[in-house]
């Protein structure tokens, strides 16, 4: 009976894994299938490097260039991660080296709560607080890449703090007995041992956080301004995810506009794939 139950359980697990792979393959096939027509109509170079996006041009000369959207997607994600990693490393050092186990557990519950807040709530807070703050400081509209990056940085903080603090806790558990026996101060151990040994993990989590940030839609769309402009820190711009969310409902099925939006999604998917492959390659090189 035990062998039969094990075989049944293995069959169920393999079945779930097969269904997951099959669904992923179907999604990739569908996106590629819907995206290919635009490359035949517009051309790969014009689509990827073009800066003019006018799918509903009244002069019957529509344009489909997503370079500004691609640049904005990468730019706002990188800025957000750079802002978040500074706070994350400091918080992780406190949680792993200074906080007691009870305090750590208490703070972890609030960090988990940050991760559970819907993105639209972050966007609404950014719209009400940050945009108005930028307006009062003299910014023309308040919406900008920096505003979106700040909101996005807060959203990815829970992921970075949890990942980095877990790594630091493991390193502390490994080296603290020897460090205490030698009489090394706790903060000296944190600065000279824990932080340097955590740099590889911090770097990998930064890259992974970029890939997570690039797919964020609602919060970024609400505070970034949604303008087809090359991204500047205090200027408006628009990401690929925001472009798809805003225009997919108005695109006629089977039109060039419709296929161009799927092609933009394909570009975003390829960018995320490149980042994940980069993470895998780096992890193999730095792993002992």
- Measured distance CA(78)–CA(261) in Å, rounded: 23
Cβ of 44: how many Cβ atoms within 10 Å? 11
What's the domain range around 153? 63-286
> Positive or negative CA dihedral for 256, 258, 260, 266?
negative
Q: Is residue 39 part of a domain?
A: no
Question: Which residues of the chain form beta strands (DSSP E)?
Answer: 53-54, 63-64
Q: Is residue 254 part of a domain?
A: yes
Q: Is residue 20 part of a domain?
A: no
CA–CA separation, 146 and 108 (whole Å): 28
Quote the CA–CA distance of 207 and 278 in Å, as a whole number: 9
**Cα angle 166, 171, 173; round to 5:** 95
CA distance 31 to 212: 20
- In this prediction, residue 10 carries a pLDDT of 86
Taking alpha carbons only, the member of 249, 275, 241, 286 closest to residue 66 is 241
What are the residue ranges in the chain where pLDDT is below 50? none
**Number of domains into which the chain is organized:** 1
Asked, for residue 14, whether it belongs to a domain, the answer is: no
Is residue 183 situated within a structural domain?
Answer: yes
Buried b (16+ CB within 10 A) or exposed e, 176-192: beebeeeeeeeeebbee
CA distance 20 to 271: 22
Q: Is residue 43 part of a domain?
A: no
| Domain assignment present for 138 | yes
As a whole-number percent, the residues of the chain with pLDDT over 70 amount to 97
Q: What pLDDT, in 10s, does the model give residues 50-104?
A: 888 888 765 567 888 999 999 999 999 999 999 999 999 999 988 888 888 888 8
What pLDDT score does 286 carry?
64
Q: What CATH number does residue 157 fall under?
A: 1.10.3720.10
- The span from the CA of 85 to the CA of 173, in Å, is 23
Please write the tens of the pLDDT for every residue from 216-239: 888 899 899 888 889 998 889 999
Q: Is residue 35 part of a domain?
A: no
């Amino acid at each position: 009976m035990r062998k039969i139950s094990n075989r049944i359980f293995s069959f169920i697990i393999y079945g779930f894994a097969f269904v997951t792979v099959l669904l992923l393959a179907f999604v990739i096939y569908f996106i590629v299938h819907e995206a290919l027509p635009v490359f035949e109509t517009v051309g790969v170079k014009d689509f990827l490097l073009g800066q003019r996006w006018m799918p509903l041009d009244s002069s019957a000369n529509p344009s489909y260039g997503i370079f500004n959207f691609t640049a904005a997607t990468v730019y706002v994600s990188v800025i957000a991660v750079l802002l978040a990693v500074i706070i994350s490393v400091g918080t992780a050092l406190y949680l792993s080296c200074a906080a007691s186990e009870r305090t750590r557990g208490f703070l972890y519950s609030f960090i988990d709560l940050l991760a559970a807040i819907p993105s639209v709530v972050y966007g609404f807070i950014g719209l009400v607080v940050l945009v108005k703050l930028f307006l009062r400081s003299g910014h023309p509209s308040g919406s900008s890449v920096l505003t979106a990056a700040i909101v996005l940085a807060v959203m990815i903080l829970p992921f970075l703090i949890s990942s980095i603090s877990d790594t630091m806790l493991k390193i502390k558990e490994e080296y603290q007995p020897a460090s205490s026996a030698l009489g090394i101060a706790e903060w000296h151990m944190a600065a000279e041992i824990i932080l340097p040994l955590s740099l590889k993990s911090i770097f990998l989590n930064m890259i992974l956080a970029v890939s997570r940030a690039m797919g964020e839609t609602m919060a970024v769309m609400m505070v970034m301004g949604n303008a087809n402009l090359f991204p500047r820190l205090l200027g408006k711009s628009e990401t690929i995810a925001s472009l798809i969310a805003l225009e997919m409902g108005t695109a006629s099925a089977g039109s060039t506009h419709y296929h161009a939006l799927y092609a933009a999604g394909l570009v975003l998917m390829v960018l995320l794939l490149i980042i994940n492959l980069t993470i895998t390659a780096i992890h193999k090189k730095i792993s002992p």
